[in-house]
Amino acid sequence: MQTYTANEAKTRFGEFLDRVQREPVRVMRHDRVVGVMVSAEDYEAMRTFYADRLLKTMDETAAGAERAGLTPEKLADLLADES
C-alpha cells in the first residue's frame, strides 16, 4: 500500500487521487496513520460487504433467539423499563 504524508497528499492531490483509483493509500501525519483513502468503487463495495454481513448476523441471532424460545412478548418484558 502506498503511503503519503498529509502534506504530500495536499500538494500532489491530482497524483494522490490517481493513485487511489488503483489501490488504497495510507495518509500519515506526525508519523502515524490518520486515514486511508480508497476509490469510490472500493468504498461502495466495502459498505455493501459490511451491510450484508450485519444482516446475516442479525438473521442468525434472531433465529438462535427463536430456537431458544424468545418470543416478542418475552423480549418486550425483558426490555420493559420498570423503574
Q: What is the pLDDT of residues 22-34, one digit of tens each?
A: 999 999 999 999 9
Task: Report the chain's C-alpha Rg in angstroms.
Answer: 22
**Residue 82 binned pLDDT confidence (cut-offs 50, 70, 90):** confident
The pLDDT of residue 81: 75
* Residue showing cell 476509490: 39
- The answer to whether the predicted template modeling score (pTM) of the entire model surpasses 0.75 is no
Q: Which residue has the higher pLDDT, 52 or 78?
A: 52
pLDDT for position 83: 59
pLDDT > 70: what percent of the chain?
99
What is the tens place of the pLDDT at every residue in 43-67?
999 999 999 999 999 999 999 999 9
Q: What is the second-level CATH architecture of the domain 2-38?
A: 3-Layer(aba) Sandwich (3.40)
Q: Where are the domains of the chain?
A: 2-38, 41-79
Which sign does the torsion angle of CA 56, 62, 66, 72 carry?
A: negative
How do beta strands 25-29 and 2-5 pair? parallel
- What is the DSSP pairing of strand 32-37 with strand 25-29? antiparallel
Alpha helix positions (H), 6-80: 6-11, 13-22, 40-67, 72-79
